[in-house]
Structure 1
Amino acid sequence: MDLPYNTRPSAEDIIAAVPGLAPYALPAVVLAPEPGEPTIHQSSVGGPLLWPADEAWPRCDVRDEKSASGTPATAMVAVAQVYRKDAPGDWWPVGKDVFQLLWCPNVHWDPPTPHADVSPVAEIHWRNSADVRHVLASPPLPVRQEDPDYGYTPVPCTLTPVPLIDFPYPQTLPDGELVKSVQE
């Protein structure tokens, strides 16, 4: 897999060229997408979610191009699911090991705050996978939806974690000489 983050110099080579960057090196993970058929137990884009059978599936009733009134409410679609084991870090809420993102598959010209104009209405859910005892077998399908080629219906992909070392943008570094060295 020849991806952009595989083409940059190694972290060791970067630090050898600019030793002052060493204290700013941070572990990171890139989640590399590959077309596939993910399961509920995998990190994925557009795959099935580890969703409790006894929890209502999110719906959107905000007006859009398909319905000026926003009715009937349409089922949201799964966009991403990430397991903590694949993207560890201190940004996870305590006791949660699954991040889920869903959105409405329609364009919203004036969605409610905090959404940006001309964007899908989104919902985020954090879960403890051990709490999900019975999984929803088939989430509801949207009753109104943009054309699948429009871009709001993700293509199912598995996400493979690729660990790497990340560095800050030069303009965020506190030392002007270090910024100059990085830019050179």
Structure 2
Amino acid sequence: MTRTTPARPVSVEAVLPELAAHRGRTTRLHPRPGRPGVHDSHVGGPMLWPASEPWPVCHEPHPRENEGYRPDEIRTARATGTRPPSRPWPDVDPPGADRPVPLVGLAQFFRRDVPALGSGPEGTDVVQLFRCPFGHGPHLERRYHLRWRSAAETERAGRLLATAPEVPMLPGENELPEPCVLHPEEVDTYPWAEDDTLPAPLIARIDAWDDAQAASLGPGAPSYQYDLSIPPGWRVGGFPSWASTGPMTIDCASCATPMRLLLTAEGSEMDGGSHSWMPLEDRDPSLQGMASIRGGPSVSQPTRLRFGRDRDLHVFTCPSDPGHLPQWVLS
């Protein structure tokens, strides 16, 4: 089934014509629980990975955990609509510093499915995203890994990996992604309006328009940030949202080139302010607003993942040299 973003509550360029010069495009991925295969673009499905190639692992120290969740019990609980039980962490199996921890495969995107996918190293057309399931250091920072590959070369390499390695215990149930198929859809998008993301006079006009809408229509009034600029959920390209941190300058650590947003991962497909973006196919047409959204967690939190304290994970890459290390920003 396709996914169709509803028309915006207001035509933003009719209200603020200056925004036409800043219009961009983003590909909403609309993940929904399903059974993706190794040759599909997905979140949480099996990776296109040669059996002869080592799976990515984390070699850094990890804090000792007191309890955790078994991946098979998480899967069973989701299938039955229950909560998985937490288990004491086995003394014989700590996630400590003396052994590598296999990374969790979060997502895989083929350029054939997402034409707007940014450029990787020459000849590559698939990007794969991984995360260490454990925190690092006193602030429990996360470690991510990006892998580009050529689908054709991977197929020629021979046998593919049948089952990815995984840790026997996870520190949280939201470390295990729910396998999701994608429904890519391109939509218009506009920059976050704060600091110098747009010309100051235009930001002032946006703020004034928001205030006038709220005064006229009350708490349910449409707003630029929530309803007109950047859609929520997993998306490729477009503009980063800066709700938690405020706008940041992201330059390449190798060459100082301003980096480009490759993709955004988000734990939720909506919140109380952004529900107007929920696709038509996930709504009851006889109802209005949030009351019309149907499907429960499979629609509102389909991947079951969480990034930081319910933030967006932005992945930036270098446009001058895709081989330079990406940067990961939680905002």
TM-score class, shorter: 0.7 to 0.9
Per the alignment, do residues 90 and 83 of structure 1 end up closer, same or farther by CA in structure 2, a change over 3 Å counting? closer
In the alignment, structure 1 residue 86 sits paired with structure 2 residue 113 = yes
Per the alignment, do residues 74 and 88 of structure 1 end up closer, same or farther by CA in structure 2, a change over 3 Å counting? same
Amino acid at match of 2:169: Q
Task: Report the Cα offset of residue 152 of structure 1.
Answer: 1.4
Per the alignment, do residues 75 and 170 of structure 1 end up closer, same or farther by CA in structure 2, a change over 3 Å counting? closer
Listed as ranges, the matches of 1:2-41 within 5 Å are 6=6, 8-9=8-9, 13-41=11-39
Task: Report the Cα offset of residue 33 of structure 1.
Answer: 1.2
Per the alignment, do residues 90 and 81 of structure 1 end up closer, same or farther by CA in structure 2, a change over 3 Å counting? closer
Deviates more, 1:80-89 or 1:45-54: 80-89
**Which of structure 1's runs of 4+ aligned residues deviate more than 4 A?**
none
Amino acid at match of 1:132: T
Question: With CA pairs under 8 Å and 6+ residues apart, which has the higher RCO, 1 or 2?
Answer: 1
Amino acid at match of 2:199: P
- Structure 1: runs of 5 or more not aligned: 111-116
Aligned to 2:184: 161
Deviates more, 1:57-66 or 1:131-140: 57-66
Aligned to 2:170: 146
**Deviation readout 1:81-100 (Å, 9 max, x if unpaired):** 11223333373223221111
Aligned to 1:173: 198
Per the alignment, do residues 121 and 175 of structure 1 end up closer, same or farther by CA in structure 2, a change over 3 Å counting? closer
Is the contact between residue 44 and residue 106 of structure 2 (CA under 8 Å) also seen in structure 1?
yes
The two structures, once aligned, show a CA RMSD in angstroms of: 2.6
SS of residue paired to 1:29: strand
Task: Report the Cα offset of residue 73 of structure 1.
Answer: 1.9
Distance 2:143 2:18 in 1: 43
In the alignment, structure 1 residue 126 sits paired with structure 2 residue 124 = no
How many residue pairs are counted as aligned between the two chains?
172
Is the contact between residue 95 and residue 101 of structure 2 (CA under 8 Å) also seen in structure 1?
no
- Structure 2: runs of 5 or more not aligned: 66-93, 210-331
Per the alignment, do residues 123 and 87 of structure 1 end up closer, same or farther by CA in structure 2, a change over 3 Å counting? same
Task: Report the Cα offset of residue 7 of structure 1.
Answer: 6.7
Deviates more, 1:101-110 or 1:43-52: 101-110
Task: Report the Cα offset of residue 70 of structure 1.
Answer: 2.1
Aligned to 1:113: none
Amino acid at match of 1:43: S
Is the contact between residue 107 and residue 146 of structure 1 (CA under 8 Å) also seen in structure 2?
no
Amino acid at match of 1:124: L
Aligned to 1:71: 98
Amino acid at match of 2:131: W
Q: What TM-score do the two structures reach when normalised by structure 1? A: 0.80
Task: Report the Cα offset of residue 47 of structure 1.
Answer: 0.7
